[in-house]
Amino acid sequence: MTELEAPKLADLDEGRASAIARRLARYGITLSNAWYELRKSRTASIGLVMLVLLFGACLATPWIATQSPVKQNYRERLQPPSEQHLLGTDRMGRDIYSRLLWGGRRLVAIALLAVAFGLAIGIPYGVLSGYYGGAADTVAMRIVDGLLAFPGLLLYLLIVTLAREWKLEGIYNDLILVFALGFAFMPEVARLSRGSVLAEKQKEYVEASRAVGDGSLSIALRQILPNIISPLIVNATVRLGYVILIVAALSFLGLGTPPPTPDWGSDLSAARDYMETAPLIAAFPGLAICYTVLAFNLFGDGLRDILDPRLAER
């Protein structure tokens, strides 16, 4: 490095540092604006508080869980809530409180990954299909229609069954679940983003970018995409709740994670046999599912009102 170059480099670093600082400041402003907007909707604020508690519990699980979620203790089976076991114990003497925490952590992680995956494949699919139009668009949308024709749980059942037959275990089993849930979310995302692109395509700013000489792909992804993001955010939030219901239903049916792993759905299913003697065991995982899904639904509903003021009237 010659002496001539050194000051230049320092300049560059300084320039970069101030650029980063400016960007951070902008994020800060965006964030505080977002919070200000959020407080306008009571639903969204309640949902947000519930979500913060939920994510907090998920992140802090290793520290706030009091016992091992899988340690069995047959001398303390089906105990009512006590100081030692905050929510009591299940049929194998495992601590329900700790199982709920660990199960929730896994469930929320799966849901987040699945929805992210669905967005990651659905958005480019829909945006490109809507932007290019023509025969490619027709074919792409017929595929989406075909995938949407699977009612309820059936598409998941097929994929989960394949995972079972190939004897996928542990992390691979979770990954295939993420794949199935994300894949099933893709058609909806694709349709939604395609619709918004069709609407946006007519607008002047797209015309302007084209006049300046931007390529189609760059216009589709860099100009149009940021403008259609808000309905997608709302949809993804509500979908998170739905995904959690699906995962719980699959493991309730015994097609999710195999037993020793803490899981709200399969814990609930196991608790059915003790419903008469210890109804509380079946209550806690159910309440946990409700709380989580409700949190996402409230937040999504509120977001919709904020992001789409036309609907806020309702």
Partner 1 sequence: MLAYVIRRIAYLVPVLLVLTIVVFTFVELLPGNIIDTLIGTEGNDDPEVRKILEKEYGLDQPIYVRYAKWLYRAVQGDFGNSLVTRRPVALELLSGIPATVYLAIVGISLSMLIAVPLGTIAAVRRNTPVDYTAQVSSLIGISIPEFWFAILCVLFFSLYLGWLPSSGYASPFDDFWGSLKFLILPAAAVGFRQAAYTTRLTRSSMLDEMNKEYVDTARSLGLSERKVIFKYTLRNAMIPTITISGLQLANLLGGTVVLESIFAWPGIGRAIFEAILQRDYPLVQAGVLVLGVIVVIMNLLVDLTYRYLNPRVKLG
Binding stretches for partner 1 (CB under 8 A)? 139, 142-143, 145-147, 149-155, 157-158, 161-162, 165-166, 241, 245, 248-249, 252-255, 268, 272, 275-276, 279, 282, 286, 289-290, 293-294, 297-298, 301, 313-314
For residue 95, the 8-state DSSP code is B
Choice between 7 and 152, CB closer to partner 1: 152
Q: Name which of 51 and 282 has its Cβ closer to partner 1.
A: 282
- State the nearest-atom distance from the C-beta of 91 to partner 1, in Å: 16
Residue 31 sits at φ, ψ, to 5 deg, of -65, -45
Q: Which of 263, 234, 25, 250 is nearest to 160 (CA)?
A: 250
Kindly report the backbone phi and psi dihedral angles of residue 89, in degrees, each rounded to the nearest multiple of 5, phi listed first.
-125, 160
Q: Which is nearer to partner 1, 175 or 229 (CB)?
A: 175
Residue placing its CB nearer to partner 1 in the complex, 219 or 296: 296
CA–CA dist 288, 294 (Å, integer): 10
Minimum CB–partner distance for residue 252 and partner 1 (Å): 5
Q: Which is nearer to partner 1, 92 or 143 (CB)?
A: 143
Token pair in block for residue 106: 């896994």
Max CA pair span of the chain: 83
What is the nearest approach in angstroms of partner 1 to the Cβ of residue 184? 11
Output 126 or 219, the one with its CB closest to partner 1.
126
d(CA 44, CA 248): 24
Q: Are 212 and 224 in contact (CB under 8 A)?
A: no
Closest contact distance (angstroms) between CB of 94 and partner 1 is 20
Rounded Cα gap, residues 289 and 287, in angstroms: 5
Q: Are 268 and 262 in contact (CB under 8 A)?
A: no
Report the nearest approach of partner 1 to the CB of residue 307 (Å).
16
**Whole-angstrom distance, CA of residue 72 vs CA of residue 86:** 16
Closest distance to partner 1 from the beta carbon of 139 (Å): 8
C-beta of 144: minimal distance to partner 1 in Å?
9
Q: How far apart are CA 51 and CA 40, in angstroms?
A: 17
Q: Which helix (H) or strand (E) holds 174?
A: helix 171-201
Residue 17 or 139 having the CB closest to partner 1: 139
Separation of alpha carbons 111 and 157, rounded Å: 17
